[in-house]
Amino acid sequence: MLKQIRAIISDMDGVLWRGMQPLPGLHDFFAYMLDNDIGFVLATNNSSKTRMDYVNKLAKLNVRGLQPSHIVTSGTATASFLGTKFPPGTRIFVVGGAGLKQILTKAGFMIVEDDADLVVCGIDIDLTYEKVRKATLLIRGGAGFIGTNPDSSFPSPEGLVPGAGSILALLEAASGQPPIVIGKPERGMFEAALRQLDADPQETLMIGDRIGTDIQGAQSLGIKTALVMTGVEDETSLAESATRPDFVFEGLPELVKALKSAD
């Protein structure tokens, strides 16, 4: 099946790096795609950064020549979704970082601290009780509730730490309202990636470290999947999962070796 692959969608956290620490095989992975004219998009549920932030981060890791069009984030996917549902100038209270606010502002929305039409929640490393209090009251008052992604945790150099999904769970418990979630495993992220690649799902490989988002979401669109064991999952969670990836690799070196062998 790897011989049929003409395009790649790859997660980032837990696949390419942990924090600022590149994972083994990072440079060989990009060299393989560039040398073999493989179209690729890097898709992340992290909404805290802009696409250019990721281009610059990869450059610092000595992966150069990437463009913003190589990146899809749950923030950009959320802005795209909101643009189909709400007019420019819609007032949004953001539980999230500067990157998410910048993305939404660029899309024509107004970031406010009160009287919001929508509450949009992503990962927020500066989360405070006051932000949660405001968001809860706004949702209870009728504001729409949008989550960029459902990841309850994400891998850091120290281990798994709370993700946007943990904040969504807190707000849902406090407000009594479930969010509309945009990021993986929902279709929006994968459809955006396929559009950017102009690729057929059957000729596309999704590489991820999380079964419940990366693998399940891609399989729902007929995309081939490869799980790497450098992030969230371990042998126990893989064995207990009813979802079976098409391929499982210890990390990028084993994946690149398999891709080269299939050529």
Question: Could you give the domains of the chain?
Answer: 2-45+184-262 (3.40.50.1000), 87-181 (3.40.50.1000)
Average pLDDT, consecutive stretches of 10 residues, N- to C-terminus, the chain (263 residues): 92 90 96 94 89 93 92 91 94 95 95 97 96 98 96 83 95 98 90 90 96 95 97 94 97 96 84
Return the pLDDT at 73: 92
Q: Closest by alpha carbon to 24, among 256, 212, 217?
A: 256
Which residue type is seen at 237?
S
| Sequence-separated (6 or more) residues with CB below 8 Å from residue 63 | 26, 27, 30
Q: What is the pLDDT of residue 65?
A: 87
Residue 103 near residue 50, CB atoms below 8 Å = yes
User: Does a cis peptide bond (omega within 30 degrees of 0) precede residue 185?
Assistant: yes
Contacts of 221 (CB under 8 A, 6+ apart): 187, 190, 191, 194, 201
Tokens of 141: 């008052």
Task: Answer for the pair 90, 109: CB distance below 8 angstroms, yes or no.
Answer: yes
- The confidence score (pLDDT) of residue 5 equals 94
Cα 230 from Cα 155, distance rounded (Å): 9
Q: Is this structure's pTM higher than 0.75?
A: yes
User: Which tokens hold the place of 3?
Assistant: 């011989």
Q: What is the pLDDT of residue 42?
A: 97
Q: Which residues are catalytic?
A: 11, 13
